[in-house]
Chains A and B, each alone.
Chain A
Amino acid sequence: MAAGFKTVEPLEYYRRFLKENCRPDGRELGEFRTTTVNIGSISTADGSALVKLGNTTVICGIKAEFAAPPTDTPDKGYVVPNVDLPPLCSSRFRSGPPGEEAQVASQFIADVIENSQIIQKEDLCISPGKLSWVLYCDIICLDYDGNILDACTFALLAALKNVQLPEVTINEETGLAEVNLKKKSYLNIRTHPVATSFAVFDDTLLIVDPTGEEEHLATGTLTVVMDEEGKLCCLHKPGGSGLTGAKLQDCMSRAVTRHKEVKKLMDEVIKSMKSK
């Protein structure tokens, strides 16, 4: 009976739950799904991380290569993010060039990297004007069940913490680089941006960490990216219903709490990796 009602009137079905301040999967309105993270599983990548937020699964792999620095900023390196939503993660995506959603997600990740200064691009420069590192961050979604931006940001952060770059010296005489693959060092991660996504229902109710169905029924979405000092790095609100200032403040405080949870999880994982 309930399954029939859900198919015919999904929004009404949902509203019944929201009236009781909970959701069909048993969560409260402000509760996140179980988050798990696995670091360093892909040995061909310089750094990798797999993040699961409930059913949503995202993997991030980072490859570091050499390139000439950009001509207008010869003392900086490159960080090139790319979010891929292949047809295997959900039946709504087709194979071929990146669709709209993938492009939006890629641009969002690029903005987060730029605004939060997670890495100083100057750290990636080896020899100004001649050689610098390029970090290609490829994020692939394996299972799409809503809240992709949170998962991608977390995966990117965890993978960056896992990246080890070999030591490079420029040979004075030949002018070529010499790489020592045996000596590797971690990147200097300055801030830890964490994203928190919300969905707006009926222009008033805010729920945290929407699943795929909830995103579909929502009238708007909002993503807030905070770093550890409670500084706002990025706010992503692509249209949808309007929000009052008070609600926005609410979201930001929820984002601060989420940041603490995520940071704790990541520190535990990194500690367990290092102790191996």
Chain B
Amino acid sequence: MPGDHRRIRGPEESQPPQLYAADEDEAPAARDPTRLRPVYARAGLLSQAKGSAYLEAGGTKVLCAVSGPRQAEGSERGSGPAGAGGEAPAALRGRLLCDFRRAPFAGRRRRAPPGGGEERELALALQEALEPAVRLGRYPRAQLEVSALLLEDGGSALAAALTAAALALADAGVEMYDLVVGCGLSRTPEPAPTWLLDPTRLEEEHAAAGLTVALMPVLNQVAGLLGSGEGGPTESWAEAVRLGLEGCQRLYPVLQQCLVRAARRRGAAAPS
């Protein structure tokens, strides 16, 4: 990067070899639209973070760590109205700071480290989806830092990051109303558009539209929704949301198991 004097300088610009390769237009294979890839989840694996979780779904690998609560930086926000249900007023509520990073080697093309707009958008999406689940009123004037790192993008990266972040928060012992489970969807292009659950990277690249849904399974409330792409009839999008919510519910038992195992491990390791 020309101006970046903090990193070792490389060439001014470079191209990936795929640009020059003989045409390899692989179309994604047809498959059952409601299949979820098998998920491997593990919590409590980093020694330096308060809580951590690693999630692997197909080719997507995400690692998430939570630190805090620590004193909130920045001036006090003006006193806002008290939240519904007797929550602490806005000035006293804790803050959730989310950071989403993509490893430079995570996608097909290398992305130089300062990620730019996309990473910030996803970090904001993470924050918006996790806030309803965390009891921020119990951490007055404190901030919780959640950092997600995408090691390999195999499709549905935001959904995996959401799930990993919720697991990491639970592993850190942060008070929560419920876990947040994320699920990704994508719609195949024109002839016969169908919504596919948990798309792979190839399916996402060939998709006409994409959607990520975040659900709080026990409360059965939607925590977050982010979609973009070509427009379509409202019924199609509504059906996609329903499909996504079903997918999240199916994923929930795996995450419960993961947290139980992590708690057992912690119990066994800690000297009483």
A interface residues with partner B (beta carbon < 8 Å): 41-45, 48, 55, 57, 59, 61-68, 70, 78, 80-82, 84, 86-91, 95, 97-98, 103, 106-107, 110, 134, 136, 138, 140, 142-145, 166, 168, 176-181, 212
Contact = CB atoms under 8 A, between A and B. Distances in A.
Contacts, number: 150
Interface string B41-72: 00000111100100000010101110100000
Given A86-B149, A88-B63, A65 B20 contact: no
A60 B24 CA distance: 28
B17 A64 contact: yes
Interface of B: 4, 6-18, 20-22, 24, 46-49, 52, 59, 61, 63-65, 67, 99, 101, 103-108, 110, 113-114, 145, 147-149, 151-154
Contact of B17 (A65, A89, A91, A212): A65
A61 to B, nearest CB: 3
A84 B113 contact: yes
Identify whether the interface residues of B are mostly helix, strand, loop, or mixed.
loop
Contacts of A110: 8
| Top 5 A-B residue pairs of the complex, sorted by shortest distance between their CB atoms | A61-B105, A80-B10, A67-B11, A45-B105, A88-B65
Contacts of B105: 42, 44-45, 48, 61-63, 136, 138
A67 B10 CA distance: 10
A275 B22 CA distance: 30
A68 B63 contact: no
B193 to A, nearest CB: 28
B104 A66 contact: no
A110 B8 CA distance: 8
Nearest to B97: A95
Contacts of A82: 7-8, 104, 113
Contacts of B9: 80
B6 A145 contact: no
B147 A87 contact: yes
Contacts of B104: 61, 63, 82, 136, 138
B21 A180 contact: yes
Q: Which of A44, A66, A98 has the most CB of B within 10 A?
A: A44
Contacts of B108: 44
B110 A65 contact: yes
B59 A65 contact: no
B110 A95 contact: no
Given A84-B113, A140-B149, A166-B21, A90 B107 contact: no
B99 A95 contact: yes
Contact of B11 (A134, A145, A179): A134
A119 B10 CA distance: 16
B11 A78 contact: yes
18 contacts: A43-B59, A44-B107, A44-B153, A44-B154, A59-B103, A63-B105, A63-B110, A82-B8, A86-B149, A87-B65, A88-B147, A95-B99, A98-B113, A138-B104, A140-B149, A143-B49, A166-B17, A166-B21
